[in-house]
Amino acid sequence: MAELLLTRGRRSFDVRYLPGFTPLAAFCLVALYLPLILVIFFSFNAERSITVFSHFGLNWYEEAAQNTFVQNATWLSLKLAFFATLVATTCATMAGLATTRRKPFPGQSVVYGVINQPLMIPEIVTAVALLAFFGAIKQATNVYGFGYLLLAHIVFCIPFAYMPIRARLQDMDLTMEQAAADLYASPWKVFRRVTLPMMIPGIIAGAMLSFVISFDDVIISMLVAGPGETTLPVWMIGQLRRGLTPQINAVSTVLLVITFFVVWMVFVMTTRKR
Amino acid sequence: MAEIGQSPLRASTPIGIGAKAAIAAEKRELKTRWLLVSPAMVIIGLAGVLPLSIILFYSFMSPGPYAGVSFEPTLRAWVFLILEEDLFEETLGLNYAHISIFSRSIGLALGTTVLTLIVGFPTAYFIATRPLRQRNFWLFMISLPFWSNLLVRTFAIMMFIREQGFVNHVLLYLGVIDKPLSIMFTPTAVWIGLVYAYLPLMVMPLYASMEKLDFRLIEAAYDLYASRWKVLQKVIIPLVKPGIVAGSILVFIPSIGAYVTPKLLGGGKSLMLGNLISNQFGTSRDWPLGSALALFLMAMVMIALIVYVRNESGKSAHG
Amino acid sequence: MSRYFDFPDFPADQSSAHVSVPRNELTLICLLAITDCYKKQVKAARPNSACHRNRRINVGDGVAIEARDVSKIFGTSTDQEVWALDHVSVSIAQNEFFTLLGPSGCGKTTLLRLIAGFEHPTDGAILLEGEDISALPPFQRPVNTVFQNYALFPHMTVAQNIGFGLEMQGRPKDEVADTVGAMLSLVKMENLKDRRVDQISGGQQQRVALARALAPRPKVLLLDEPLSALDLKLRKEMQLELKRLQHETGITFIFVTHDQEEALTMSDRVAVMRDGEIHQIGSPQDIYNRPNNRFVADFIGESNFLEVQLLSRNGSTAKVRFANGTELDATLPSTDVTSGSITVIVRPEHARLTADRSAGHLQGVVNDAVYFGTDTHYYLTLDGGEEFVIRQQNQRGDRGKISSGTQVGVTINEDSIQVLAN
């Protein structure tokens, strides 16, 4: 009995332990979240200060909500993100179906390269290239409008939508479709009754990611947008260079909450047990 | 199985209806698959690949009078990448402004890579050694800030490090310093901002390779008289090297092309390549030079990617 | 010797031939849907189930499935070609429990997938009740499969899984419901019908997979190592269950396994395969007692292989001389045997130790004796120098093992020496 107590009291050698690693990890997490928490905290400051917290108030949210610039920019951002997501997710779903679940077709590596191209090029390069390209088209055709910005967003949303969709399709058991075909389902019915329902989580994850990516984009929107096309992030960067008021904190907090919610949903959907 | 390699079946003519059906189905399927990838290919080809060839073309043209280009072929933009004209003596000299921006960009990108590695390695190791059920949670916690708006994150770090910011308040209160540090609008501020922005990109690939780490190997190393430091140096780091390389590339690429962070945190004296490029398309109105600079940046990123791909393929050759 | 069923074997005919089509089946078949060319044909191909229903057909009534000189080559370029099936011919009778047995990579699963329609033969034809179905896609074949991993649809309930095939055939709702009910009771799963498939155990998933494949009353049911994922006890249970289901439904079962015991206990006939060829087709007794060649003898059960001299032959029996000069009768295989030096096999349980070392017996010395509870294995060296194993059942009251070094005689049971084909 005494021996038993002794061994229990002694700590066993932990092979996974490395000195200093846990404090550094803790520091990393604190450093990641503390600035964001401060942003949220000062958004509730009643006074016009982001240094000293006087007392609680929601007036900066009210002000932001009544600001017509914010209203217009939010509306444009939402519209842009919605349509970009719709088109990008559709394209990505089709491409995902074609590039998985069968042995690669000749030229598939080229397809991969093209689809991932927007991820491999620095955003600023894509932005100036699109600026030059759209400028030339506008000059040649005299056609202006929302379409350019939308097209630019669709381009960089496709790879983000494609990644989770492809991952989902690769995880799915191939014999499911064989079983359905074996049970008299025509190819179209196999797709509608088996493949599509099973890949839905991937499609939703892809759509959400592309929505977040489009909604948050600054650089491309800033350079490609025509006159009057101010998205919310473009409005924000203008404000940040002018001076800091808790109104930006309020808008940032709303953005943070939306993003966190969407990413959490994606996370739940992609890690859920099949 | 003597037939392997000589293929007597191919020579004779009659093809079973099963084989015919298979050939037909395969042809049909190939067509359908190309049809399915075509929307994505067309969109990205049109608005992703084609614009790059436009700026390649522009980089060999002369600048237009107000903006844009005038179509007179010249190598001027590529020469002006690192040289500049002396207005009075009409001679060419090194463009020190550009060179300092290039070196600052590379330096900050490398510095960001190193610092994220120093902070990210223990963090990834911490996550990888959690019980299985907790790991996804920690990974989620690390990746969450990455998905939030870059502007919001940059704003957050601005609030954090500016003269009346949180860090200075705390340090003053603790008596570590007696007057506030002014790091805003210096390369240090940009460095901190980049590390803050891209840290998750380092942690995730590191975690991915540490997750596969076989801890029995570490036990074996301890059994064979290795100290903790030796285990880290001789066992863990070599085993997770692919993750280190992947993470470094993932951090280096967006860092060297950063635009928002240096614009907001760096001020006028800490410009990086991204800002220089956008200035050529904005206030400087020199599109050819801007195009050349953009392609120069792209080339650096491609080099980093090739290093990465080499590393990947070398790894699979061993495995 | 007992042959339950007398069936002509189909020796492989190595004549016709042609181009290889690698078709790594299943698929984005769904993608083809966009062309939508298959839709109309589905109805035409519906299996005519009425003629089967509740009729117990005697084996031998007719041929259900025939593979006629089928070859399947994977890989496109000549140097990468793999002959998964090499001119295989086999004929499977109505209502037969037929097993394809062989080591992994022998082509048994490929043959099954050719019958199901997931692969198309490079050459040769698959005939269902005399009709060539080689070109039909799987969803037009009245053949259903129980997959190795069951492949139950995770987004559907047990009942929805079972009803899927009927629904795809466009059967009326009440008929689907009735059949699903009947199937649920057939596999004793009524109380779990509304569960999701990930909420039931492996054995239960197995039953659902069976019910799902049986529900449309296919002409042939294909089973691809369906028991391999189950533990031993459940496996034994399911073996009996499968036999029962086959008996009750009267459907032809084609069963793929690498487990010789499973094959021997369940099948009416077994085809032993290796390297894309069928080595022997026969009843379990045939396969075990009268193996055609060394591979079959070695793969199924244990064997003593002995080199002997063929002295004379008389119909299906022959006189052979062993290395020590003993002359005994042996059974000849169906295929030709050259005279002179040949190989015979003796199963370890078909020989007994005896103290009698007179002529007419083999003689040897016991090297080792290992006690196994039900029986004891004796490892001998015969006087001719060959190794020989004897498995002898233990009786209460045995005086204990015969110790090593003992000089013994070996009596071989009558009709237990089998000559192998070269």
Instruction: Report pLDDT for C77.
Output: 59
Ordered by start, the domain boundaries in chain A are: 66-271
pLDDT at B19: 78
* Rounded distance between C-alpha atoms, residue A122 and residue C22, angstroms: 41
Domains of chain C: 29-142+218-289 (3.40.50.300), 302-419 (2.40.50.140)
Mean pLDDT of chain C: 80
Q: What is the pTM of this model?
A: 0.79
* Lowest mean pLDDT, pick from C5-14, C101-110, C169-178: C5-14
Question: Which range in A102-106, A259-263, C17-21, C256-260 is most confidently predicted, on average pLDDT?
Answer: C256-260
Verify whether the Cβ–Cβ distance C31 to B36 is below 8 Å: yes
Output the CA torsion sign for C248, C250, C255, C259.
positive
Per-residue DSSP letters for C270-312?
EEEEETTEEEEEE-HHHHHHS-SSHHHHHHSS--EEEEEEEEE
By three-state DSSP, how is residue B318 classified? helix
- CA dist C342 and C419 (Å) reads 7
Q: Which domain holds residue B136?
A: 96-318
Distance CA C327, CA C329 (A): 7
Q: CA-to-CA distance for A130 and A219, rounded, in angstroms?
A: 11
Residues B296 and B250 in one domain: yes
Q: Of A211, A230, A213, give the one whose Cα is nearest residue A221.
A: A230
pLDDT > 90: percent of chain B:
38
Beta strands in C186-234 (DSSP E): 220-224
Query: In sequence order, what are the residues at sequence separation of 6 or more whose Cβ sits closer than 8 angstroms to the Cβ of residue A207?
Result: A85, A89, A161
CA distances from C310 to C293, C296, C306, C318, C382 (A): 16, 21, 12, 7, 19
B41 and B135 inside one domain: no
* Position B220 pLDDT exceeds 50: yes
Nearest to A169 by CA among A177, A180, A181, A158: A177
Q: Do C135 and B5 touch (CB under 8 A)?
A: no
How much is the pLDDT for C222? 95
In a domain, B138, yes or no: yes
Kindly state the tokens that stand for C297: 């003898």
**Of B58, B79, B111, which one is at a domain's C-terminal end?**
B58
Q: Rank A57-61, B19-23, B101-105 by mean pLDDT and report only the highest.
A: B101-105
Q: How far is residue A132's CA from residue A146's CA, in Å, rounded to a whole number?
A: 17
CA nearest to C257, candidates C37, C102, C111 = C102
Angle, vertex CA A69, rays to CA A65 and CA A75, nearest 5: 75
Question: C199-248, pLDDT tens digit by residue?
Answer: 899 889 999 999 999 999 999 999 999 888 888 888 888 888 898 889 88
Q: How far apart are CA C380 and CA C408, in angstroms?
A: 9
pLDDT (0 to 100) of residue C32: 28
In a domain, B303, yes or no: yes
Is B121 in the same domain as B249?
Answer: yes
Dihedral (C-alpha) A233, A234, A236, A240: value to the nearest 10 degrees?
130
Q: Which residues pair with B166 in a beta bridge?
A: none
With cut-offs at 50, 70 and 90, classify the pLDDT of residue B12: very low
Task: Please check the confidence at residue C46 and state whether its pLDDT lies above 70.
Answer: no
Three-point CA angle C323, C327, C332, nearest 5°: 95
- Could you tell me if B232 and B296 lie in one domain? yes
The 10s digit of each residue's pLDDT in B175-216 is 888 888 888 889 999 999 999 999 999 999 999 889 888 888
User: Quick one: B26 and B125 in the same domain?
Assistant: no
From A93, which residue of chain C is nearest by alpha-carbon distance? Answer: C31
User: Which of B26, B32, B36, B37 best tests the A interface by mutation, with the highest count of A CBs <10 A?
Assistant: B37
Contact residues, chain B, for C136 at CB < 8 Å? 21
Q: Where are the alpha helices (DSSP H) in chain A?
A: 2-9, 21-43, 59-66, 68-99, 108-120, 123-141, 146-171, 174-182, 187-190, 196-216, 219-224, 232-242, 246-271
Stretch C409-418: mean pLDDT? 87
Lowest-pLDDT range, A116-125, B96-105, C14-23, C291-300?
A: C14-23
What is the pLDDT at residue C6? Answer: 32
What pLDDT, on a 0 to 100 scale, did the predictor assign at position C385? 86
CATH of the domain at B203: 1.10.3720.10
- Give the per-residue pLDDT at C400: 67
Contact A135 B141 (CB under 8 A): no
pLDDT over 90 (residue B125): yes
Low-confidence ranges of chain A (pLDDT < 50): 1-9, 273-274
**C213 → chain A, closest CA residue:** A183
User: How far apart, in whole angstroms, are the C-alpha atoms of residue C303 and residue C260?
Assistant: 14
Cross-strand partners of C321: C309, C327
* Chain B residues in contact with A90 (beta carbon < 8 A): 39
- Residues B246 and B205 sit within 8 Å (Cβ to Cβ): yes
* Contact criterion met (CB < 8 Å) for B123 and A51: no
At C27, is the pLDDT very low, low, confident or very high (cuts 50, 70, 90)? Answer: very low
- What are the backbone dihedrals phi and psi of residue C373, each rounded to the nearest 5 degrees, phi first? 90, -85
| pLDDT at B202 (0 to 100) | 93
What's the structural domain count of chain B? Answer: 2
Instruction: Identify whether residues B196 and B245 lie together within a single domain.
Output: yes
- pLDDT of B4 reads 40
By C-alpha distance, the chain B residue nearest C72 is: B19
Mean pLDDT, chain B, integer = 85
d(CA B88, CA B164): 45
Distance from the Cα of B24 to chain A's closest Cα (Å) equals 15
Say if CB A122 and CB B298 are below 8 A apart: yes
Q: What pLDDT does B244 receive?
A: 92
- Look at phi and psi of residue C317 and say left if phi exceeds 0, alpha if psi is from -120 to 50, else beta: beta
Among residues B60, B63, B85, B90, the alpha carbon closest in space to that of B75 is found at B60
Cα distance between residue C19 and residue B69, in whole Å: 59
Residues of A in contact with B215 (CB under 8 A): 15-16
What's residue C11's pLDDT? 34
B118 lies in a domain?
yes
B26 and B103 co-located in one domain = no
Examine residue B231 and state whether it is found in any structural domain, yes or no: yes
- Please check whether residues B265 and B159 belong to one and the same domain: yes
B157 shares its domain with B41: no
Specify whether B27 is located in the same domain as B117.
no
> What are B141's two structure tokens?
């916690």
CA dist A266 to A262, A263, B140, C204, Å? 6, 5, 10, 32
136-175 of A, contacting B, C-beta below 8 A: 136, 139, 151-152, 154-155, 158, 162
- B5 found inside a domain: no
pLDDT of residue A50: 73
CA gap C41, C141 in Å, rounded: 11
- The owner of tokens 């392997």 is B4
The nearest alpha carbon in chain B to A118 belongs to: B48
Look at residue C97 and tell me whether its pLDDT is greater than 80.
yes
pLDDT at residue B108, rounded to an integer? 95
The minimum CA-CA distance between C103 and chain B, rounded to whole Å, is: 16
Residues C83-96, mean pLDDT to the nearest whole number: 91
Please check whether residue C212 is in contact with residue A183, taking contact to mean a CB–CB distance below 8 angstroms.
yes
Give this complex's ipTM. Answer: 0.84
Ramachandran category for residue B267: left, alpha or beta (phi over 0 → left; psi -120 to 50 → alpha): left
Q: Integer distance in angstroms from the first to the last C-alpha of chain B?
A: 30
Write b or e for each residue in C5-34: b if 16 or more Cβ atoms lie within 10 A of its Cβ, otherwise e. Answer: eebebbeeeeeebbbbbbbebbbbbbbbbb
A84 touches chain B (CB under 8 A): no
pLDDT bucket at C335, cuts 50 / 70 / 90: low
Q: Cβ separation of C149 and A176 shorter than 8 Å? A: no
Question: How close A88 comes to chain C (CA, Å)?
Answer: 19
Inter-residue contact C303 to C347 (CB < 8 Å)? yes
Read off the pLDDT of each residue in B272-276 and give the average, rounded to a whole number: 93
Tell me which residue of A205, A198, A197, A200 sits closest to A164, measured CA to CA: A205
**DSSP 3-state of A39:** helix
**Chain B CB contacts of C36 below 8 Å:** none
Predicted confidence band of residue C337 (pLDDT cuts 50, 70, 90): low
pLDDT recorded at residue A147: 92
Band (pLDDT 50/70/90 cuts) for residue B233 is confident
Distance between CA atoms of C206 and B166, rounded to whole angstroms?
62
Give pLDDT, residue B251. 92
Mark whether B105 and B223 lie in a shared domain. Answer: yes
Judgement on whether residues B48 and B184 belong to the same structural domain of the protein: no
Closest-CA distance, A32 to chain B, in angstroms, reads 7
Per-residue pLDDT at B21 exceeds 50: yes
In CATH, what is the architecture of A66-271? Orthogonal Bundle (1.10)
pLDDT value of position C58: 43
Neighbouring-strand partners of residue A165: none
CA dihedral C218, C224, C226, C231 (to 10 degrees): 170
